[in-house]
Structure 1
């Protein structure tokens, strides 16, 4: 039992006063001489004894009356919390795409939101974390308003982030009882490690009734000619085999082709469509099938007329460059140092300095301006370079210095597979390839550089010098046949091909939501101009960086819905891009809650949201007792009245 006003109980000490008065009462019996009759003497004794009993009863009822009144004013109650403490409930409600499935009661997300509204206490404070927003210390009405408007999103939040917010939220609140509840399907896309020190929480697992799913995983083109394109559609099936599933391809809203297919249990399959080759195609692929998820039955892609990358090689003629930078993808130009057209440099995306003995001052100034405006520079030194000329240029463009030439035969052995230059080049890490060699090289001394390919002594053969604007790549050795056999290595093609491709990020067939996407738009805009991305339902201004002949756009949190979007300059459409929902959301793989219980026994899972809140509300309910003590006081007063009226000693 707890008391709201415990200080009132100090007045119980005053109850000693009537007890003292009773024990040391001033009234005394007076002896009156009477006839010495035995009967009368006995009657006097009985009257004195009855009078004492009556007074004790009256004292007891009055003591009980005052005690009950004092207890009533102290306001006693039963509860798991004190009346001064507040109840704060932290709720994480997973509104990822995977919760847009059907459970026993209906849509998982909508039913969960409705049950929270119906069962949560209207008196408590709440913090609500979703995949898109965090609302701290809100009332029930604010919680209700947010839940009524909640929608599924492609954005993800790591459960470790949620647990960190729980910790931070609890630390900032004093005199508060905390309860944490995580409502999710606990899909394994959430990369969280639970330990025995994980903050204690109650979990509720949302489960769909269907346990199979078919989805469109990806789209790619692997066969093109002047007339037709072959569209390859990768289909993934999770669950039992399925037959006669309709699939169709649209150009925007116009149906182009339709077919049906069958797929084996837990397998993948590629479906082919042949369409007419055209400069612009807004592709939409749809599957007609009812399963666990519906958001992955539609896939968007866009074909834009891709502009070629402008490549300028300055220096010695190199046959290998013209073979790599072919006419179908690149505008490749070669020039000697004496014949360089300096007016053409700003129009390039990438400039290669191929084995120059020195870098003239006029060329150095043009390349410095080119780099500041986002251009890519690849430097291949000559075996006999003028060190001072190179250092003047590299120091001005990237605060970098070349060290003296080292004449030592070294093998090229290490590849940085995580570098963007080798993205999608290798299906697995290769360690047993035939190592190329160099006989001499020029190491660099740079404050901020990363090695792409390294020698056996772990020094850099090809390095990227990190610059605030454009990319600068340093090849530390001459590639002439007299100095190296790197030109005969299978690495030569992907390295220089991707030098060209990375210099300008053409739009891809499609992009995924909730991922960082970098898109280069070839356009020249004025100083205060910006590009925007729009569709029929929304528009936003993405982060962007303006260069001389392009604008680099980055998307991450926006857009939020799959579909076609248009990159707009004023009222002109510069490019069309397609966004799709993350493919990880289609996985039917979820965390085992029994494993979580084994890791941390204090983590518990409730059977339903309703049971959780009923249990929480019952624990926090205050059972007031002052009414019972007031009733006891009234009863004591009535007893005293009855004793005074009917008890005659």
Structure 2
């Protein structure tokens, strides 16, 4: 038994008062003359004995009465927790795309929200974490409103973020019992580790009724020209083989073609559509099939006309550049330092300073302005360069300092495969690489540089200056045939191709939601102008950076729904973009909670939401006893009245 007001129990010391009154109460007897003394003596003895019994009964009854009153005011109760402590329940409810599917009792997310509403206690305090919002210290009524309006989210929340939120919520709560509940399908794309320092939590796993899923993984275009091309659709199957699955392709809302396909167990397949006489293709692919997830049965893509990238080479005449920068992807021009058209510099995306002996001050100023506007600069030193002119330019670009020439025959041996510069270039590390060599080089010292390719002595051969304001690449050695055989190396093509290609991010066929996407738009905006992205349901202004001849926009938080979106300049549509949901949400791989529990004793697993809330409510239920003691006091009072009235001496 526990007491809400235990200090009242000290009042039991007052029970000595009625006890003393009864023990020391003096009675005065009156003498009455009577004729028969013998008979009178007998009656007197009987009266004294009955009176003594009555007094003890009244004393006991009054002691019971006061004791019952004292107990009633101290408010005794039975419970597994102290009444002064509050119950705070932290709930993580996974409302990702994968939970918006069917289980044995219907939609997993809908059933989870309804069970929380049905079984959560009205008396407790709650904090609700979803994939896109957090609601702190809310009541049951507020929790119900949030759950009733909860929608599916394309965002994925890492468990480490959830645990951090739990710790920050609970560490400052005094006189509070904390319970942490995680409700999810525990899809395997959660990149989190469960350790012994992980906060204690209870897990309810939402289980899908189907174990088979077909998804449109991606799409790519081949044999592309202005109006005729082939759409290659990559379809992924998880589960048993399937036959006669219909796949349709639309241009906007118009059906272009439809075909059926079969796919093997746990396999990928490419299905091709030949598209003819279709320009400005706004593509939509749909699979008609009932499986675990429905959101991945549709994929949107937009085929926009690719912008040619402007590349200018200033310096030595290099035939290899014109072969790499082909006319179908680039507008390549070359010029000597004396014949540079300065008016064209700011119109370029990439400028290569190709082995200039001296960088004139006029050219240096134009290059700096070009870099400030977001252009990509590649510097290849001359064997007999004017060091002061080069370092003057690098100083203004905050890109480091070139040291004096070092004559030493070195091999180019190390490729930084993890550098973003080589993303999607190599499928695997090259082991049988024929190392090119150089005869002399000019090392650069810069705290902001990162190695792309290095010599055998670890000194960088190609480096990128990691300056947020400028995009500068430095090749530390002349690459002409006299000084190096790098021009014969297989590296020459991907290196210089990426110098040009990475300077302008072409619009992709589609983008993924909840991922940072950087998109370059070839527009000249004034300072007060902005670009917006919208469709029929939503309009938002993305993060954007204005350069001389382009605008770089960045999306991540928005949009949240798959579909087509227009990039608008005021009310004019510049370009169409397609967004699709993350393909990781289509995985049918889930964490095994029992395996996790083997190494983490602070994890409890429950089969249903009802079970865990029933347990919490039973533990926290308070059985009050003060009413029973109050009733006992009333009964004692009535009993005393009856004794005084009907107990005759």
- Does the pair score TM above 0.5? yes
| CA distance in 1: counterparts of 2:181 and 2:165, whole angstroms | 13
Q: Which runs of 5+ in 1 are unaligned?
A: none
Distance 1:52 1:348, change over 3 A: same
SS at match of 1:26: coil
Residue 89 of structure 2 corresponds to 89
Q: CA deviation at 1:174?
A: 2.0
| CA distance in 1: counterparts of 2:28 and 2:322, whole angstroms | 132
Are 1:529 and 2:529 an aligned pair? yes
Q: CA deviation at 1:29?
A: 8.0
Residue 406 of structure 1 corresponds to 406
The answer to whether the 8 A contact 1:521-1:552 is kept is: yes
Q: How many residues align?
A: 649
| CA distance in 1: counterparts of 2:456 and 2:620, whole angstroms | 68
Residue 332 of structure 1 corresponds to 332
| CA distance in 2: counterparts of 1:222 and 1:439, whole angstroms | 42
| CA distance in 2: counterparts of 1:459 and 1:46, whole angstroms | 121
Residue 206 of structure 1 corresponds to 206
SS at match of 2:374: coil
Residue 76 of structure 1 corresponds to 76
Between stretches 552-561 and 80-89, larger displacement belongs to: 80-89
Distance 1:10 1:358, change over 3 A: same
Residue 453 of structure 2 corresponds to 453
The answer to whether the 8 A contact 1:398-1:466 is kept is: no
Distance 1:647 1:272, change over 3 A: same
Residue 507 of structure 2 corresponds to 507
Residue 567 of structure 2 corresponds to 567
| CA distance in 1: counterparts of 2:165 and 2:105, whole angstroms | 30
| CA distance in 1: counterparts of 2:161 and 2:549, whole angstroms | 40
Q: CA deviation at 1:37?
A: 9.7
Residue 603 of structure 1 corresponds to 603
Are 1:280 and 2:280 an aligned pair? yes
Residue 543 of structure 2 corresponds to 543
The answer to whether the 8 A contact 1:357-1:386 is kept is: yes
The answer to whether the 8 A contact 1:229-1:277 is kept is: no
SS at match of 1:88: strand
The answer to whether the 8 A contact 1:533-1:542 is kept is: yes
The answer to whether the 8 A contact 1:95-1:152 is kept is: yes
SS at match of 1:84: coil
The answer to whether the 8 A contact 2:399-2:448 is kept is: no
Q: CA deviation at 1:399?
A: 4.1
Residue 639 of structure 1 corresponds to 639
SS at match of 1:224: coil
The answer to whether the 8 A contact 2:103-2:208 is kept is: yes
| CA distance in 1: counterparts of 2:62 and 2:431, whole angstroms | 96
| CA distance in 1: counterparts of 2:424 and 2:28, whole angstroms | 112
C-alpha deviations, 1:315-351, integer Å up to 9, x for none? 0011111111000100000100111000000000000
Alignment of 1:410-449 (within 5 A): 410-449=410-449
| CA distance in 2: counterparts of 1:601 and 1:27, whole angstroms | 73
| CA distance in 1: counterparts of 2:473 and 2:594, whole angstroms | 52
Residue 489 of structure 1 corresponds to 489
TM-score by length of 2: 0.96
SS at match of 1:576: strand
Distance 1:575 1:225, change over 3 A: closer
Residue 380 of structure 2 corresponds to 380
Are 1:309 and 2:309 an aligned pair? yes
| CA distance in 2: counterparts of 1:64 and 1:31, whole angstroms | 36
| CA distance in 2: counterparts of 1:40 and 1:163, whole angstroms | 90
Alignment of 1:336-375 (within 5 A): 336-375=336-375
Residue 4 of structure 2 corresponds to 4
| CA distance in 1: counterparts of 2:432 and 2:42, whole angstroms | 124
SS at match of 2:113: helix
Q: CA deviation at 1:226?
A: 6.3
Residue 390 of structure 2 corresponds to 390
Distance 1:485 1:52, change over 3 A: same
Are 1:243 and 2:243 an aligned pair? yes
Residue 62 of structure 1 corresponds to 62
Residue 471 of structure 1 corresponds to 471
Q: CA deviation at 1:35?
A: 12
The answer to whether the 8 A contact 2:376-2:503 is kept is: yes
| CA distance in 1: counterparts of 2:428 and 2:277, whole angstroms | 33
Q: CA deviation at 1:80?
A: 3.1
Q: CA deviation at 1:9?
A: 1.8
The answer to whether the 8 A contact 2:399-2:467 is kept is: no
C-alpha deviations, 1:474-528, integer Å up to 9, x for none? 0001101222121111111111101111000010111100000000000101111
Residue 220 of structure 2 corresponds to 220
The answer to whether the 8 A contact 2:229-2:274 is kept is: yes
SS at match of 1:398: coil
C-alpha deviations, 1:206-251, integer Å up to 9, x for none? 1111111000111012333566311111111011110000001111
| CA distance in 2: counterparts of 1:38 and 1:354, whole angstroms | 146
Residue 263 of structure 1 corresponds to 263
Between stretches 380-389 and 598-607, larger displacement belongs to: 598-607
| CA distance in 1: counterparts of 2:279 and 2:376, whole angstroms | 28
SS at match of 1:458: coil
The answer to whether the 8 A contact 1:532-1:539 is kept is: yes
Q: CA deviation at 1:467?
A: 2.3
Between stretches 293-302 and 455-464, larger displacement belongs to: 455-464
| CA distance in 1: counterparts of 2:117 and 2:439, whole angstroms | 74
C-alpha deviations, 1:447-496, integer Å up to 9, x for none? 21111111222221111012233310000011012221211111111111
